[in-house]
Amino acid sequence: MKFGKEFASQMVPEWQETYMNYNYLKSVLKDVLRSRQKNESPAMVSTPKGSLKRRESLYRAFSGLTGRYRGSPRKNEDEVILVRAVEREGSEGYYQTMFLMPAEEGGEYELVFFRRLDDEFNKVNNFYKKKVEEVMKEAEELSRQMDAMIALRIKVDKLGAEFTSVASSEPSTSASMVHHVNDRKHGQSHMDVIQEVEMSSERDLEDENRNRVGKTTSTKEQIGGKAYLEGFRRASLEILDHVKINIETPETLVSTLKGVLGNSKSNFRFSKQEMRKAEDLMSRAFTEFYQKLLLLKSYSFLNSLAFSKIMKKYDKITSRNASKDYLKMVDDSYICSSDEVTRLMERVEAAFIKHFANGNHKIGLNTLRPKSKRERHRISFFLGLFTGCSIALAVAIGVLVHARNILKSEGRYRYMENIFPLYSLFGFIILHMLMYSANIYFWRRFRVNYTFIFGFKKGTELGYREVLLLSSGLAVLTFAGVISNLDMEMDQRTKSFTALTELVPLGLVIVVLLITFCPFNIIYQSSRFFLIQCAIHCICAPLYKVTLPDFFLADQLTSQVQAFRSLEFYICYYGWGDFKSRSNKCLESNVYKTFYFVVAVIPFWIRSLQCLRRLLEEKDIMQGLNGLKYVSIIIAVAMRTGNELNRGMTWKIIAAMTSGFATIASTYWDIVIDWGLLRWSSRNPWLRDKLVIPNRSVYFAAMVLNVLLRLAWMQSVLGIREAPFLHRTALIALVACLEILRRGIWNFFR
């Protein structure tokens, strides 16, 4: 792989604009090469490669065998560039390169190259310096929080006392578990705890702070199976008098209800279980902080390597020796010479190993350092097996339909009215999972850090293979159930169908629910529980703080309206219908019609409540407008449902008007707000400044598809109840599948 592609593949996506623009500098060097080739004489062009260099070397002055001083007069004659640091207003450490041979033919192109090279280097160097300053501030904050946690740990474990806490915090990258109040007033010098925990003996203590008087041994006390340094800092327990401990996150249902009821009581008992929760938050904070340090270290290495590569290309093209002087400047600059990140990484490792890994070096480093997820062969094997079986079963269904002439059978209408809606539920779920697996594949291909965006626990997130495995396994069960229910004719003696086969769809639903809520550590337990947690947050909206996974899941549910209606049909069919004779009177029940409307509105109502919660918390007017958009969709869905259940011209006109308005608003929001496209002032016309996909036509195709697929509701307004070879229920299922496809496209660009 060429360096340019390797360089791009290892970039941090969020920092992509701050890396050295290697491809651009290569294009400038191509201009230099074309200029030099253009200015070469015909004699030089016809000279065999290497002979010119050899001929020139025959007439060069001989400097002697004992010349060892690099500062000889000959150096000034061979100098090509002069690199120096200059003072510029508003920027520190600005480096400028002076090209000493601009009068040569093609020298103006080389002059442009060094100007652009300086711009790129100063951009990289200043960004790195800014990020190092940020992590140093975060390290100081992390140290203060660690001070309080160690003191609290000693307090809880040693004295067995329970500490009073105030529940008003949330986990974040800086682990805002503790907050200091006027601690410096009591003379508490904030020596970095990360440095402190590295000291395992009094000798280390004396080396770090020679003014402190101590003995040559440090006192360790074993408390609750963990080693703590007691007496190491006698003032550590005093810090608890000036700290508020917050371990109950504000997105919980209890904390929200307490806020609504106005319960200002803050005298909660602080137990060891809460202590473990606090330790878990601090452990996550250390891990995330360490990951950021690794990214900064990688940023420094990749950019320094890129400058080395580009200067070697310059030397090769121009036959000069300018890289030596320029790379010396790079080595002496802040990005290469500073060791704050390395030292901070060592301190974080020591602190984490001591306080969160019980001194186990291997476990501590394995937790801190990222681990590449292993591709398991059994996943590929079962994926191929289930995919092949599902394809074979789908073909078998087609053969059976053709062999039995089912499409012209008298029982086909009864089948489509009663059995097809039951199995279409699984079809919606499988299609949505297939679209999600495609999303994961393309997110990874275009380096979208979806695991971080969604907040998945590292190493437990599902890849596209795992999602495909689950969808193909469900497809096998579904197709097998369809084959078992393909009997179209009733038994003439009993006028009924086999009860066992008629219960197959209900059995599949029960199996899926049992697997989803299974408490055992099988079939991706962490992902299932994460999904259940997000679903609970959606159901209880707006009582929970709205996070990205919550409203992203709620958006998925808005595209599964027909699946919710299928679940409603399950209850009606197996609860009040006669499944043994494949008959039901659901559409004749007013209760069913009412819930037919309610279940279609629930997902959009959830999203509107989430927008209301975000409006109140974030004071962002855009969230209010987004909530109004979902209210307009609720009205449109209600009118379309009314038109579907109560046919009439008035219902049709109202449904068309409300649906048209909701479609225009939703389409604009999708393309302009969610996708960030249609920016007339963008450097990419009518798109956006930063494009993940290099092919711009993909964005325009996605916009057109979004509009067309959003118009799928027109079939209900236009009165299209059936199509050739398609029953009414099949047409409804097809329209629902189009909405799921639209949602899958939306997911990627969102």
Q: For residue 576, is it within any domain?
A: yes
- What pLDDT was estimated at residue 219? 37
Per-residue buried b or exposed e for 187-200, using 16+ beta carbons within 10 Å of the residue's own CB: ebeeebbbbbbbbe
Q: Is the per-residue pLDDT at 268 higher than 60?
A: no
Most confident of 146-160, 193-207, 233-247: 146-160
Q: Mean pLDDT check: name the lowest of 25-34, 293-302, 514-523.
A: 25-34
Distance, in Å, from the CA atom of 641 to the CA atom of 600, rounded to the nearest integer, reads: 9
Residue 64 has pLDDT above 50, yes or no: no
Instruction: Tell me, yes or no, whether 594 and 743 share the same domain.
Output: yes
Peptide bond into 724 cis (omega under 30): no
Tell how far CA 716 is from the center of its chain: 37
- Among residues 639, 607, 640, 638, which one has the least CA distance to residue 623? 607
Note the pLDDT of residue 234. 40
- 589 lies in the same domain as 726: yes
Burial (Cβ within 10 Å: 0-12, 13-18, ≥19) of residue 222: exposed
- Give the confidence band of 722 by pLDDT, cuts at 50, 70, 90: low
Question: Shortest CA distance to 178 belongs to which of 143, 129, 221, 213?
Answer: 143
- Confidence band (pLDDT; 50, 70, 90) for 554? very high
Residue 182 is predicted with a pLDDT of 38
More confident of the two residues 700 and 38:
700
pLDDT grade for 412, boundaries at 50, 70 and 90:
confident
Domain boundary among 274, 293, 324: 274
Q: Summarize the confidence of residues 61-74 as an average pLDDT.
A: 42
pLDDT at 592 over 70: yes
Name the band, by pLDDT with cuts 50, 70 and 90, for residue 240: low
pLDDT band at residue 1 using 50, 70 and 90 as cut-offs = low
Considering 31-35, 489-493, 675-679, the range whose residues carry the highest mean pLDDT is 675-679
Residue 61 placed within a domain: no
Token digits of residue 410: 């008298």
Alpha-carbon distances, residue 311 vs 83, 268, 307 (angstroms): 14, 63, 6
Confidence band of 43 (pLDDT split at 50, 70, 90):
very low
Q: Please write the tens of the pLDDT for every residue from 115-147.
A: 999 999 999 999 999 999 999 999 999 888 888
Of 469 and 197, the one with more pLDDT:
469
Across the range 729-747, mean pLDDT stands at 94
CB atoms within 10 A of CB 493: 6
Per-residue pLDDT band for 560 (boundaries 50, 70, 90) equals: very high
Burial per residue of 243-265, b for 16 or more beta-carbon CB atoms within 10 angstroms, e otherwise? bbbbbbbebeeebbebeeeeeee
Q: Is the pLDDT of residue 63 over 70?
A: no
The mean per-residue pLDDT over the stretch 5-21 comes to 87
Residue 648 lies in a domain: no
Band (pLDDT 50/70/90 cuts) for residue 277 is: confident
The pLDDT assigned to 364 comes to: 87
Last residue of a domain, one of 226, 253, 274: 274
| Domain-terminating residue out of 274, 300, 329 | 274
pLDDT digits (tens, 9 = 90+) for 429-484: 999 999 999 999 999 998 888 888 898 877 788 999 999 999 999 999 999 999 99
Task: Provide CB contacts within 8 A for 268, sequence distance 6+.
Answer: 164, 165, 166, 167, 248
At 652, the amino acid letter reads: K
C-alpha angle 422-427-433 in degrees, rounded to nearest 5: 140
User: Could you give the 3-state DSSP secondary structure of residue 290?
Assistant: helix
Helix ranges (H only) for 333-446 are 334-337, 340-356, 361-368, 377-403, 412-418, 420-445
262 and 402 part of one domain? no
User: From CA 643, how far away is CA 627, in angstroms rounded?
Assistant: 24
For the stretch 669-721, pLDDT in tens is: 999 999 999 988 888 888 988 888 889 999 999 999 999 999 988 877 776 66
- For residue 100, the model assigns a pLDDT of 79
Residue 186 above 50 pLDDT? no
Q: Considering its fold, how many domains does the chain have in total?
A: 2
Quote the tokens at residue 326.
């320029």
Stronger pLDDT, 725 or 56, i.e. the higher one: 725
Judged by phi (left if over 0) then psi (alpha if -120 to 50, else beta), residue 524 lies in left
pLDDT tens profile 90-121:
555 678 888 877 767 767 888 888 899 999 99
Q: Report which of residues 357 and 737 the model is more confident about.
A: 737
476 and 590: one domain?
yes
Instruction: Please say if the pLDDT value at position 221 is more than 90.
Output: no
C-alpha span between 223 and 355 (Å, rounded)? 13
The helix (H) or strand (E) run that includes residue 309 is helix 272-318
Answer whether 409's CB lies under 8 Å from 488's CB: yes
Four-point Cα dihedral 177, 182, 183, 185, nearest 10: 180
pLDDT in the model for residue 255? 57
Q: Rounded to an integer, what distance in angstroms lies between the CA atom of residue 206 and that of residue 213?
A: 8
In this structure, is residue 492 part of a structural domain? yes
Decide if pLDDT at 256 tops 60.
no
Highest mean pLDDT among 213-222, 277-286, 371-380: 277-286
Name the nearest CA neighbour of 711 among 649, 648, 667, 651: 667
The helix/strand/coil state of 223 is: strand
Query: Mean pLDDT across the stretch 82-92?
Result: 67
Is 230:516 a contact under the CB 8 Å cutoff? no
pLDDT above 60 for 192: no
Q: Are residues 490 and 603 in the same domain?
A: yes
Looking at the structure, tell me whether residues 268 and 385 fall in a common domain. Answer: no
Per-residue pLDDT at 107: 76
Out of 171-185, 379-393, 485-499, which region has the weakest mean confidence (pLDDT)? 171-185
- Is position 401 within any domain? yes
**Rounded CA separation 187/621 (Å):** 45
d(Cα 360, Cα 350) in Å, to the nearest integer? 10
Its domain, for residue 490, covers 377-619+720-749
Share of the chain above pLDDT 90, in %: 43
pLDDT given for residue 95 in this prediction: 85
Whether residue 601 is contained in a domain is answered as yes
What integer best gives the mean pLDDT of the chain?
80
Q: Which of 108, 109, 86, 107 is nearest to 97 (CA)?
A: 86
Distance (Å, rounded) from C-alpha 613 to C-alpha 601?
19
* pLDDT for 716: 73
Which residue would you say has higher pLDDT here, 663 or 648?
A: 663
Pair (382, 518) in one structural domain: yes
More confident residue, 256 or 416: 416
Residue 669, domain member (yes or no): no
380 contact partners, CB below 8 Å, separation of at least 6 = 465
Determine, yes or no, domain membership for 351: no
477 and 601 part of one domain = yes
pLDDT at 177 over 50: no
Per-residue confidence (pLDDT) for residue 40, from 0 to 100: 65
Residues 452 and 575 occupy one common structural domain: yes
Share of the chain above pLDDT 70, in %: 77
Average pLDDT score over residue span 37-49: 55
**Better-predicted residue by pLDDT, 479 or 323:** 479
- 616-644 pLDDT tens trace: 999 999 999 999 999 999 999 999 988 88
